[in-house]
Structure 1
Amino acid sequence: MQTLLIERLGRRALIIGGYLLMSLWCVCFTLTLSFQKSSSWVPYLSMICIFAFILSFGLGPGGVTNILITELFTQPTRPAAYMIAGSVNWLSFFFISMLFPFIVVRPYCRTVTNVTELPFTDKPCRALIIFLTANNIQHTVHTVALRRGENRTPEFTKLNPMQKVPVMREDGFVLTESDAILKHLTAAHSVPDHWYPRQPQKRARVDEYTAWHHMNTRLHAAKVFITEVLTPRMTGQPVDDVRLQRALRDLDGTLDKLETMFLKDQDFLCGDDITLADLLAICELMQ
């Protein structure tokens, strides 16, 4: 088919036309990537652009450029020319494939440095670190030793008068409360929409859980951890079985509500994909 096109249209038309079409599909591909979150069908246009780009290359430059080697080099030097050209071609493919993940990921990382004050033993802090890492958001972590009272120092109190963690500092902007920090990061950075959906009803479901989370999942999971692990370690006393059983009953009630109110027959708390609600919940329950 390529030979037929060359004979009918000529090499000049195929090369110029092919590269023009490839440029057009690159522009279309860029636009579809920029607006891929605006509608569910836009990502399919991105795939169409990719296949159209490949087809344009195959019908134009892909076939014509291979023939040029036979005309540019004499018979004795053609094997070496083909070998060098092929090696350069495949090495280019290799380097592009190795660099592509970094090319894709880096634009989603802002140059602003996020400084988060946290101890890794704290569940909301772990949720925050998981979110930052999973979404390749550049950040710097400063750990705070709660047992040594570093959260009560004048420097930390100036950041957060409540003397609690986590605290986020971003270009002079200070924000406290893990729920607020996570939601701010979804708005300030290009992260997948499923974390905190833009669709009003889906977002409301996430807000519904995060409002319920603090006095239920977090409270009752923390009671079990404090009663069974933290208090015995700090005091050297055995576990208070009565308090532990009461805490476990409260946690069982919370888990029942998680299944009946939120999970139901879904894979995740607020729908078919992971959200901030799931991240906050799992960090509490896995403790």
Structure 2
Amino acid sequence: MYAIRPAVPADQPAVVALLARLQADPAHHVGYHGVTAEEIAEELAGFAPDWASCAVVGTDGDGVLRAVLSTETDTDIGRAWLHGPFVDVPESHPAGRQAWHNTADDLLDNALPTLAGIAQLELYGHRQNRRLGDFAARHGFTATGSSRVFTLTGSALRSVLVCVAGSDDGPRPLGTDPDVRAQVIELHERSFPHRNASGRHLVDGARGHTVVVLTGADGVIGYAAGFVQQEEFYVDYVAVDPNMRAAGAGRALVRALLRTLAAEHGARGQAAAVISLGNDSSERMFAALGFELHLELVSYRRE
């Protein structure tokens, strides 16, 4: 239905416009992307070495861009994340579902040669993105779990940002202490295996994270890591040593992280966090801070 080719830098404005439109619809939503054009443009700008070298697109007979699949790879751990496929099929198309799948298959076929040596592929989309689920099943992906996006806005967010910092014993920026950094790496790898950011990525800032850490007499109690997007603060990881949970450490870390992000980058209208379905303790922690459920996503993996 569409002609598939490698992306070029000049495609990026059309891709941003397409994704902003499709991301607003749960039936097309992919969890790796934001929703607004500004968020998506910022995300594409962060691809390495550049977005165009990591993507394939589809165009119609008039040359209008109608489909895209971007890939993000980490050769160190042999894993790649598929941002998409996104396919824009006219509602009036007599075989719209089949046209979507044919185009999605063509996008993947053209993207795979750039993923040579990658042992694991991952997808992530809204639970209502049924076509993505069917695509995943047809290509040997297995659903690995669901997660829920929680958001914090309005007065609840403002109360966190204006909260007076605690004592000198409270959470603080990560700093350069090699022992503390090594403990954060170890706690991250233990708490979040198989994630797209390793502990080394966090402490080195390789993925743009800001990290705050809480320490005690025996070392690191916990850490929180996040970053700023165009319109929101994003709490990406929070981990607390199992022996120190239920003492308010997680809430203190999230508050400190949001205040640090605001101080470094300015205020935003929203904060967001993704929590694995069934992680009731994390849900309770974020709910206690005022976060509310926004949407639910499903992850898929192919070995």
TM-score by length of 2: 0.26
Q: Which has the larger radius of gyration?
A: 1
Structure having the larger proportion of residues in helix: 1
Structure having the larger proportion of residues in strand: 2
